[in-house]
Structure 1
Amino acid sequence: MELFQKGLDSNVATYQYKELKIKAGDNLQVNVFTQASNNQEQTAVINMGGVGKSSGLYSVNNLGQIEFPKIGLVTAEGMTVRELKALLQSKWSPFVKDLLVNVQLQNITVNFLGEFNSPGAKIFTTEKITLIDAIAAAGGLNDDGKRNDILVIREEQGQRKIYKVDLRDAAFYNSPVYQLQQNDLVYAGIGDSKFRQRGFQEFTQKTAPILTFVSFFNFALGIAILITTLSK
């Protein structure tokens, strides 16, 4: 069975990826460089900041802020990586001559539940994560997966929004969740026919001991009636 309608390939080729917004809880790798020999000590101070004070890995706190050496707290939530890079460049420039700043989002996590071959949390190292790429990383949908009812749950401005996607329709390319974001949750339900089949199997498994007991009881009752009849 074809997963997508014709026309999706051409759409993907021209898709314009969006820059992800930094969120509370994100990890960012921040490193600075300079060619000025007399500024190497200053760059080392910045590069040794962050988690563990040795890696240049910084976490966004629950207020959306990051504390950096030399410049203190910076509100990063809601900014793109490019915007934060420009801000840090301007704030650190007075301390380091000929400064270059590199900023990268680290460990972008997407969670998968339901009828995937490999559900669970998947970590990506790029901001350009499409729903198709992510499903492939989760091993694809299993045979029971409902391809016309994929749910993507996303937190936006403190509110959870649920998006429904039909993978059989190329129009999902225009969905806001075609490009996934950090901490998105993707859920694949079970198909209706498979649900009924699985439900019947579970029902028979659960009721088998009861039916066995009832059958034994009826058999014993029949024997008792037969003995009573013959003894008369």
Structure 2
Amino acid sequence: MQIRNLQDYKAFGNSAGVSTASAQLTFQVEEDGNVSLPVLGHVPVAGLTRIEAQRKIEKLYRDSSLVNPLIELKIANLKVQAFGEIKTQGNFTLTKEYTSLIDIIGQAGGLTPAADEKHVKIIRHEKTGIRETYIDLSDINILSDPRIFLQADDIIYIAKNKRAVRDDNLQNVTTLIQPSILIFNTALIIYSLFR
């Protein structure tokens, strides 16, 4: 995953190899792709992966003020949303740099029995507009498909399968017909009694 827009990083500093725990500081990557860091000021990190940004910041601190700085960058506050036929719906945090659709489905407790695993939709906002990608989870080759790796603010939607939709439609028809059948049966009983 590359840094493109507003993204939070947690920087954990440890200077001169000291083994004591340092204070955790959080710095946000601004819309212009820069992060404001103590001593360094504005550092451009747009377009860099997490590891590249970490190395760049370590080098800048090493060159300016710290001896053997250990900087650990973690992605924070990056979330995706999952809706539809998934056991737990809602927001899910991207806990690692390359979080896949499979990881999020696992965090959510899996798909419901009514899920259509052949047409899982990932909705992504891009500069050119909204892009929808359909993933077939029943295909084992999907594990090597780069489209399953999620980005911040992706929306995952899992629709109902055809059988579940058919069952829902049948239940709706039954719900509508049942009162009519009850009235008809009542009328037949009354007619039989008075005959």
Whether 1:22 aligns to 2:3 is: yes
What corresponds to 1:58 in structure 2? 27
Whether 1:94 aligns to 2:93 is: no
- SS of the residue corresponding to residue 142 of structure 1 reads coil
Runs ≥4 in structure 1, deviation > 3 angstroms?
155-159, 202-205, 207-213
What corresponds to 2:161 in structure 1? 191
Letter in 2 for 1:62: E
What corresponds to 2:87 in structure 1? 117
Task: Report the Cα distance in structure 2 between the residues aligned to 1:59 and 1:151, rounded to whole angstroms.
Answer: 30
**Match for 1:68 among 34, 37, 55?**
37
Whether 1:140 aligns to 2:110 is: yes
Number of residue pairs aligned between Structure 1 and Structure 2: 185
| Structure 1 residues 79 and 88, CA gap change in structure 2 (3 angstroms) | same
CA contact (8 A) 1:23 1:60 kept: no
How far did residue 176 of structure 1 move?
Answer: 2.4
CA contact (8 A) 2:15 2:68 kept: yes
CA contact (8 A) 2:35 2:44 kept: yes
Letter in 2 for 1:202: N
Deviations 1:147-190 (A, max 9, x none): 11111122344533211111111222232222323322211111
Letter in 2 for 1:83: E
- SS of the residue corresponding to residue 87 of structure 1 reads helix
- SS of the residue corresponding to residue 81 of structure 2 reads strand
Tell me the TM-score normalized by structure 2: 0.78
Structure 1, gaps ≥5 residues long: 1-19, 38-46, 49-54, 224-232
Whether 1:171 aligns to 2:141 is: yes
CA contact (8 A) 1:29 1:104 kept: yes
Letter in 2 for 1:86: R
Deviations 1:50-105 (A, max 9, x none): xxxxx411222333332222222223232111111122123223122332322121
Letter in 2 for 1:65: N
Deviations 1:101-157 (A, max 9, x none): 221212442211110011111124222423222211111110110011111122344
Structure 2, gaps ≥5 residues long: none
Task: Report the Cα distance in structure 2 between the residues aligned to 1:24 and 1:130, rounded to whole angstroms.
Answer: 20
Whether 1:84 aligns to 2:53 is: yes
CA contact (8 A) 2:16 2:66 kept: no
More strand by share: 2
How far did residue 204 of structure 1 move?
Answer: 4.4
- SS of the residue corresponding to residue 141 of structure 1 reads coil
Task: Report the Cα distance in structure 2 between the residues aligned to 1:35 and 1:114, rounded to whole angstroms.
Answer: 50
Question: Bigger radius of gyration, 1 or 2?
Answer: 1
- SS of the residue corresponding to residue 74 of structure 1 reads strand
How far did residue 212 of structure 1 move?
Answer: 8.3
Identical positions, percent: 22
How far did residue 35 of structure 1 move?
Answer: 1.8
| Structure 1 residues 102 and 66, CA gap change in structure 2 (3 angstroms) | same
Task: Report the Cα distance in structure 2 between the residues aligned to 1:155 and 1:27, rounded to whole angstroms.
Answer: 18
What corresponds to 2:122 in structure 1? 152
How far did residue 32 of structure 1 move?
Answer: 2.2
CA contact (8 A) 1:108 1:126 kept: no
